[in-house]
Amino acid sequence: MDTKELEGLLLKYSAALKTLETEISILLQDYEYKNNYNPVEHIKSRLKSYDSASKKLLSKGYDVTIKNIEEHVHDMVGLRIVCSFLSDVKEIVKIIENSDQITVHDKEDYISNPKETGYSSYHLNVYVPVYLIDGVTMVAAEIQIRTVAMDFWASLDHKITYKFKGEIPLEIQEEMQNCADDIHKLDRKMLNLNNQMQEIKDDQEII
């Protein structure tokens, strides 16, 4: 693979990440200003390494080329938005969908339909514009939106999966699924508590 061509590709992805981070930051600041509420606990971003992209291509049966990275690795640019409540997830999805700079081309709702492992999150596959000397190019990126509880589970699941190198004993899988179910219940309970507190606050303001 041509080194110069690879450097150009990574430069483009790096620029896309900066563009995505900036746009998301502006949108969330505007939302907080207008609603007097910040739905986000924290945001993490990353660029997938060339080695990780190569492994992903090989696992899918593709040769490792620049073209195949662009066409088949759509999460080279990744952003994870972690929020407090389930209702915040929906709000953030709406904010992103209404952006003029971010184009959503696919959605995966693993909150309504969790994976068999118990994994739960909302994924948006998007395109962001990158302005280079030769013109504007649209670069693919993935945005994950989840609650603090979902993020906690996903982090531990990743560590356990890595420890067993993907060959997780059945009893561990079942217990992780049980934990995922407990976390979904916790998310709903916390949302109900938040709604109750908001109703009390609204009643006090009326009085």
- Which residue, among 73, 162, 172, has the nearest Cα to 125 in the 3D structure? 73
Least confident of 49-53, 91-95, 103-107, 158-162: 158-162
Q: Does this chain's domain 3-148 share its CATH topology with 155-206? A: no
Query: 62-83, pLDDT tens digit by residue?
Result: 999 999 999 999 999 999 999 9
Helix axes 86-97, 3-35, angle to 10 degrees: 120
Q: What pTM was computed for the model? A: 0.88
Query: 130-187, pLDDT tens digit by residue?
Result: 999 989 999 999 999 999 999 999 988 877 776 666 577 888 888 888 899 999 999 9
Other beta carbons within 10 Å of 13: 22
Query: 98-138, pLDDT tens digit by residue?
Result: 999 999 999 999 999 998 888 999 999 999 999 999 899 99
**Domain boundaries, given as residue ranges, for the chain:** 3-148, 155-206
Residue 197 has pLDDT above 90, yes or no: no
Residue 94 has pLDDT above 90, yes or no: yes
Q: 3-148 — its CATH code?
A: 3.30.460.10
**CATH fold of the domain at 155-206:** Helix Hairpins (1.10.287)
Residue 207 has pLDDT above 60, yes or no: no
Could you give the C-alpha distances from 202 to 86, 199, 205, 206, in angstroms and in order?
20, 5, 5, 6
CA distance 86 to 195: 11
CA torsion sign for 121, 122, 126, 132 is negative
Identify the helix (H) or strand (E) that includes residue 43.
Answer: strand 40-47
